[in-house]
Amino acid sequence: MKKILVTGGAGYIGSHTVVDLIEHGYEVISVDNYCRSDARMLLGIEAITGKKITNYAIDLCSLTDTRKVFEENPDLVGIIHFAAYKAVGESVEQPLLYFENNLQSLINLLKCVQEFRIPNFVFSSSCTVYGEPEKIPVTEATPLQPATSPYGLTKQTGEQMLEAFVKTNSCSVLLLRYFNPAGAHPTAQIGELPIGRPQNLVPAITQTAIGVIDHLQVHGTDYSTRDGSCIRDFIHVCDLAQAHTQGIQLLEKEGTSNHCKPINLGSGTGMTVLECIHAFEKVSGAKLNWSVGPRRPGDVIAIYANNEKAKTLLGWEARYGIDDIMATAWAWEQRYRSGQTVLGS
Residues that bind ligand WQD (CB under 6 A): 86, 88, 126, 128, 180, 199-201, 204, 216-219, 230, 232, 273, 296, 299
- Establish if 8 lies at the interface with ligand NAD (CB under 6 A): yes
- Establish if 33 lies at the interface with ligand NAD (CB under 6 A): yes
Task: Pick what 10 binds: ligand NAD, ligand WQD, none; C-beta below 5 to 8 Å, kind-dependent.
Answer: ligand NAD
Span from 28-36, 217-225, 254-262, 327-335 in contact with ligand NAD (CB under 6 A): 28-36
Q: State which of residues 4, 18, 84, 190 lies at the interface with ligand NAD (CB under 6 A).
A: 84
Task: Pick what 169 binds: ligand NAD, ligand WQD, none; C-beta below 5 to 8 Å, kind-dependent.
Answer: none
DSSP 305: B
Nearer to ligand NAD, 255 or 303 (CB): 303
Side chain identity, residue 161: M
- CB count in 10 Å sphere of residue 136: 18
Q: Given 56, 85, 130, 151, which residue is catalytic?
A: 151
The helix/strand/coil state of 77 is: strand
Task: Pick what 59 binds: ligand NAD, ligand WQD, none; C-beta below 5 to 8 Å, kind-dependent.
Answer: ligand NAD
**Contacts with ligand NAD in 96-115 (CB under 6 A)?**
101, 105
Give the integer Cα–Cα distance in Å for 320 and 318: 6
In angstroms, give the least distance from the CB of 285 to ligand NAD. 27
172 pairs with which residues across the strands? 120
In angstroms, give the least distance from the CB of 154 to ligand NAD. 8
177 pairs with which residues across the strands? 125, 264
Give the integer Cα–Cα distance in Å for 250 and 231: 31
**Contacts with ligand NAD in 116-145 (CB under 6 A)?**
124, 126
The helix/strand/coil state of 75 is: coil
| Angle at the Cα of 246 from the Cα atoms of 71 and 265, rounded to 5 degrees | 110
- For ligand NAD (CB under 6 A), the number of binding residues is 26
Task: Pick what 241 binds: ligand WQD, ligand NAD, none; C-beta below 5 to 8 Å, kind-dependent.
Answer: none
Phi, psi of 129 (to 5 degrees): -65, -20
The helix/strand/coil state of 328 is: helix
In angstroms, give the least distance from the CB of 126 to ligand WQD. 3
Residue 3: is it exposed, middle or buried by C-beta count within 10 angstroms (0-12/13-18/19+)?
Answer: middle
**Contacts with ligand NAD in 171-200 (CB under 6 A)?**
178, 181
Task: Pick what 232 binds: ligand WQD, ligand NAD, none; C-beta below 5 to 8 Å, kind-dependent.
Answer: ligand WQD
Helix (H) or strand (E) holding 71: helix 63-72
The answer to whether residue 34 is catalytic is no
Side chain identity, residue 123: F
- Establish if 17 lies at the interface with ligand NAD (CB under 6 A): no
Nearest to 88 by CA among 148, 159, 176: 148
Side chain identity, residue 36: R
Give the integer Cα–Cα distance in Å for 300 and 180: 13
Residue 205 vs residues 11, 188, 327: alpha-carbon distances, Å: 20, 17, 12
Interface with ligand NAD (CB under 6 A): 8, 10-14, 31-37, 59-61, 82-84, 86, 101, 105, 124, 126, 178, 181
Known catalytic residues?
Answer: 151
